[in-house]
Amino acid sequence: MTPVQIIGFPEEDSRDDEGLAANGCYARRIGRTSELQADRAVFVYGDNAGWLELLREIRALHPSTFLVVVTRIPDSSKWLEALEAGANDYCSLPLERQQVQWLIRSFHADTGHLSRGDGDVLT
């Protein structure tokens, strides 16, 4: 499984953790940016107040971290804001298997990390 980190997601909603796990990711919830591991992909929840500032803070602290903004309410202006603030990608929930596979492959291609020697990033 590919380890990813999620930050800013509602604590009472574990559906997103389960969705990532079902799609080949081990999701670790992060409460503060100081807990982030720079070598892992980070999914930032874009529906809370302050999401853009959080994204900018993460990008400033960890310039090479692979950042994905996820939202339940897709919006083209939010998409542009996210990319301009340093997100590598932007997608809507719920995450589907093919979408997660594409995001993880993008992460591995961007960082050079592979989870298995055969090039298959999902175990």
At 11 the pLDDT is 63
Percentage of the chain beyond pLDDT 90 is 8
- Total residues found in the chain within this entry: 123
- pLDDT given for residue 6 in this prediction: 76
What are the extents of the domains in the chain? 2-111
In the chain, % of residues over pLDDT 70: 71
**Distance between CA atoms of residues 37 and 99, nearest Å:** 23
**Per-residue pLDDT tens over the stretch 60-91:** 988 888 899 988 888 888 889 999 999 999 98
Average pLDDT for 40-46: 83
Q: Give the range with max mean pLDDT: 35-39, 40-44, 65-69.
A: 65-69
Look at residue 47 and tell me whether its pLDDT is greater than 70: yes
Which one has a higher pLDDT value, 58 or 6? 58
CATH T-level fold of 2-111: Rossmann fold (3.40.50)
pLDDT at 14: 58
What's residue 56's pLDDT? 92
Q: pLDDT (tens digit, 9 = 90+) per residue, 83-116?
A: 999 999 998 887 777 777 788 788 777 666 544 3
Kindly compute the dihedral angle of the four CA atoms of residues 28, 29, 31, 32, in this order, to the nearest 10 degrees.
Answer: 40
